[in-house]
Structure 1
Amino acid sequence: MRAVLIKGGIGSADDLYIGNYENPTPSKGEILVKIVAAGVNRLDIMQRSRGPPALPSASKDILGVEFSGRVEGLGEGVSDFQIGDEVLGLAPGAAYAEYITVRSGTVMKKPADLGFVEAASIPEVWFTAFQAIVLIAHVTANDTVLVHAGASGVGLAAIQLARFLGVKTVYATAGSDEKANFLSSIKNGASHAVNYKKQDFAVEIDKATNGKGVDVIVDFVGQDYFSRNINLLRTDGRLVLLATLSGKEIPNVDLGPILYKRIHIGGSTLRTRSLEYQAKLTSRFVDEVLPYIKGETVEESPLKTYLYTVYPWQDVAEAHKDMEANKNTGKIMLRIV
């Protein structure tokens, strides 16, 4: 089969190329999928530039953790899928390819009203947002929520999930006026979005809440935002860390507010979770969220997947450059043909 590979194993976007790779064969409990589309995610950039993760089940050579396609092979013991089924799913790696083998428990049947590209844009970002909003922060309709990087795939999903759960006020940050305006304009979008490059988000949200702050913050930035996040949180507030883009270490932190405001700090990754956990998450997501996600052109949909650009996989380098430049509002996708 053909797959997107990296010259030398680690490199820049320009080191990505389509080459030949051994065809995968499904083992017990796995299915073989002919991929139609794959999503581009921040962790793909990290793997390309730093090397593959220390996961025994992840491909050491091929990027990509979410995909859609058609089932072309069944491993021993698989009974919940048939040859020809249209599916979407989560993988520890290897989705930038013509074929992939994955555990059947992390695969979902594609809703008929979602296209393949739309379907492939869902697993990684919506699962991550579901973890943050539902499983870690336990968001309820009475909460006020702040989502950083609101125009990213996870950010957009988290904002919509909070509103889906009945939250009336969801704040968001974004890196441009255009992105901030977009977040405020979409159905079930942000109540108020702040361009963090022009304004201090902490000052603006403090004003907007009349000094009361928020109950839940979903953050990808880490070091640069930590103290301001803590100060914005109300008593019994919850901070969910999904990445540390500005750094992992936080010097000279005042722990006092964490104690006297009884703040809960949680963190999570998805790729390093066990297959059993991911299968349970998949099952719950299918029951509670997937039926409500539609394409962005479906007006009545409470939840939408937003696409920024769809590249043919021959242009994978341009897709990575777009993500590295933070150009996207919504998902960057690859069509595997």
Structure 2
Amino acid sequence: MPGQMMRRIAFSGAGGSEVLRMEQAARPAPAEGEVLVRVLAAGVNRPDIQQRRGLYPPPPGTTPIPGLDIAGVVEAIGAGVSQWAPGDAVCALSNGGGYAEYCVVPAVQCMPVPRGFSFVQAASLPEVFFTAWNNIIWLGRLAEGETLLIQGGTSGVGLAGIQIARALRQARVIATAGTDEKRRVCLETGAEAAFDYRGDWDEAVRALTGGADVILDAQAGPYTQRQLNLLRPDGRLVFIASHLGPTAEVNIREIVRRRLTLTGSTLRPRPAAYKGALAAELVAQVWPLLESGAIRTRIHAVFPFGDVAGAHEVLDANAQIGKVVLAVDPALAETIPAGAAC
């Protein structure tokens, strides 16, 4: 392994898709507790776009190479790893480095490729399902039969969240989206209703449900107080980004009076143990539903590894409905690994 080379994607600076470049680099080696995965497919996510723009630097000590979810075959294992062996088909939430032919990942952040899934389909799972579970189930504490509002229902996280909430909490789910087609997809995925996020979505939700118990939002800014107004007593507002602005003026008295929780999260800086606990819950509770078809993944487009710029341009235009995936090894990315199962 020492001295062997691979292709990977790097940035020539901060900017548009033109700063993405293919380069040769030495293959990484797994340290203690890590596995080396031969990457066959990799997901393209909003954090990759923000990192490319210079707005989301990787945490200290992590690789500057983008790519947070991968699917492929274990090539080698580090010391202390017993749950995986070379040849195992896995998908994983990486700490970066997924835009490459080989990627090292903490072993606890790997999950088996669900039975019947191709590597492309498996690569669409980790980042969005980790994020949805962390924010809706752990931080949002969505309980049985509560009402959940998801802002941006056709993002990968939004589609995963709609299905998790419906299948595992029997929640009422309302979503927002920017086009008729996207709102139709929200309804097909399990949302009770879908509204235009540029309109009076808060009044529409209030008229339909009387309010929300949990709101998942990536906009923040001027949406913040409108969302707090929409929450029922003891409601939870969970931010995963702040695309409309990093600050907001809010009524603290109402937060206190109605016992509201306002929180947010990023997963990338979290320790492996935290992400490993998330992985274990997903494999136990979500993977069987993926295998049975009760929860589905939606692939918007698959791009060859050499056209990573084209993949980024889809997200730049906010044109995706579901996940965009890179076929790092086009000959194998669409294949279904033999015996892949939970």
TM-score normalised per structure 1: 0.93
Establish whether residue 38 from structure 1 lines up as the match of residue 39 from structure 2: no
- For the residue of structure 1 that corresponds to 2:137, the secondary structure is helix
- For the residue of structure 2 that corresponds to 1:333, the secondary structure is strand
Seen in structure 2, the aligned counterparts of structure 1 residues 160 and 184 have a Cα distance that, compared at 3 Å, is same
- For the residue of structure 2 that corresponds to 1:223, the secondary structure is coil
The one-letter code matched in structure 2 to 1:254 is N
Query: 1:121-160 alignment to 2 at 5 Å?
Result: 121-160=124-163
Confirm or deny: 8 A CA contact 1:148 1:219 kept in the other structure: yes
Seen in structure 2, the aligned counterparts of structure 1 residues 260 and 52 have a Cα distance that, compared at 3 Å, is closer
Which residue does the alignment assign to 2:258?
261
Confirm or deny: 8 A CA contact 2:142 2:169 kept in the other structure: no
Which of residues 272, 276, 281 is equivalent to 2:278? 281
Q: Residues 34-65 of structure 1, C-alpha deviation per residue, up to 9 Å, x if partnerless? A: 100000111001111116635244212x1101
Q: Residues 171-224 of structure 1, C-alpha deviation per residue, up to 9 Å, x if partnerless? A: 0000111100111123xx110000223x22112112222xx2111111111112
Which structure 1 segments of 5+ residues have no match? Answer: 295-299
Alignment partners' CA distance in 2, 1:56 and 1:103: 16
The one-letter code matched in structure 1 to 2:95 is P
Report the count of equivalent residues.
324
CA shift at 1:86, angstroms? 0.5
Which residue does the alignment assign to 2:194?
193
The one-letter code matched in structure 2 to 1:190 is A
- For the residue of structure 1 that corresponds to 2:161, the secondary structure is helix
Which of residues 315, 319, 334 is equivalent to 1:327? 319
Which residue does the alignment assign to 1:223?
221
- Please list every run of at least 4 consecutive aligned residues from structure 1 whose deviation after the TM superposition is greater than 4 angstroms: none
Establish whether residue 74 from structure 1 lines up as the match of residue 77 from structure 2: yes
Q: Residues 272-291 of structure 1, C-alpha deviation per residue, up to 9 Å, x if partnerless? A: 11112111221222112122
Which residue does the alignment assign to 2:332?
none
Which residue does the alignment assign to 1:202?
202
- For the residue of structure 1 that corresponds to 2:268, the secondary structure is coil
Confirm or deny: 8 A CA contact 1:140 1:165 kept in the other structure: no
The one-letter code matched in structure 1 to 2:80 is G
The one-letter code matched in structure 2 to 1:255 is I
Confirm or deny: 8 A CA contact 2:47 2:56 kept in the other structure: no
Confirm or deny: 8 A CA contact 1:152 1:330 kept in the other structure: yes
CA shift at 1:268, angstroms? 1.2
Seen in structure 2, the aligned counterparts of structure 1 residues 132 and 51 have a Cα distance that, compared at 3 Å, is closer
Which structure 2 segments of 5+ residues have no match? Answer: 1-5, 330-342
Percent of pairs with identical residues: 40
The one-letter code matched in structure 2 to 1:312 is P
Confirm or deny: 8 A CA contact 2:74 2:88 kept in the other structure: yes
The one-letter code matched in structure 2 to 1:195 is D
Query: 1:110-129 alignment to 2 at 5 Å?
Result: 110-129=113-132
Seen in structure 2, the aligned counterparts of structure 1 residues 281 and 57 have a Cα distance that, compared at 3 Å, is farther
Alignment partners' CA distance in 2, 1:89 and 1:104: 9
Which residue does the alignment assign to 1:167?
170
Confirm or deny: 8 A CA contact 1:38 1:64 kept in the other structure: yes
Q: Residues 93-134 of structure 1, C-alpha deviation per residue, up to 9 Å, x if partnerless? A: 000000011111111121231110110111111011001121
Establish whether residue 239 from structure 1 lines up as the match of residue 237 from structure 2: yes
- For the residue of structure 2 that corresponds to 1:303, the secondary structure is coil
- For the residue of structure 1 that corresponds to 2:53, the secondary structure is helix
Alignment partners' CA distance in 2, 1:99 and 1:126: 22
Seen in structure 2, the aligned counterparts of structure 1 residues 6 and 175 have a Cα distance that, compared at 3 Å, is same
The one-letter code matched in structure 2 to 1:283 is A
Q: Residues 241-284 of structure 1, C-alpha deviation per residue, up to 9 Å, x if partnerless? A: 11111111113x22222122111112111111111211122122
Which residue does the alignment assign to 2:10?
5
Confirm or deny: 8 A CA contact 1:139 1:165 kept in the other structure: no
Confirm or deny: 8 A CA contact 1:151 1:329 kept in the other structure: yes
Alignment partners' CA distance in 2, 1:247 and 1:4: 30
Q: Residues 70-102 of structure 1, C-alpha deviation per residue, up to 9 Å, x if partnerless? A: 011111221111111100001110000000111
Alignment partners' CA distance in 1, 2:99 and 2:135: 26
Alignment partners' CA distance in 2, 1:217 and 1:57: 33
Which of residues 47, 54, 59 is equivalent to 1:50? 54
Confirm or deny: 8 A CA contact 2:35 2:104 kept in the other structure: yes
CA shift at 1:168, angstroms? 4.3
Which residue does the alignment assign to 2:339?
none
RMSD: 1.4
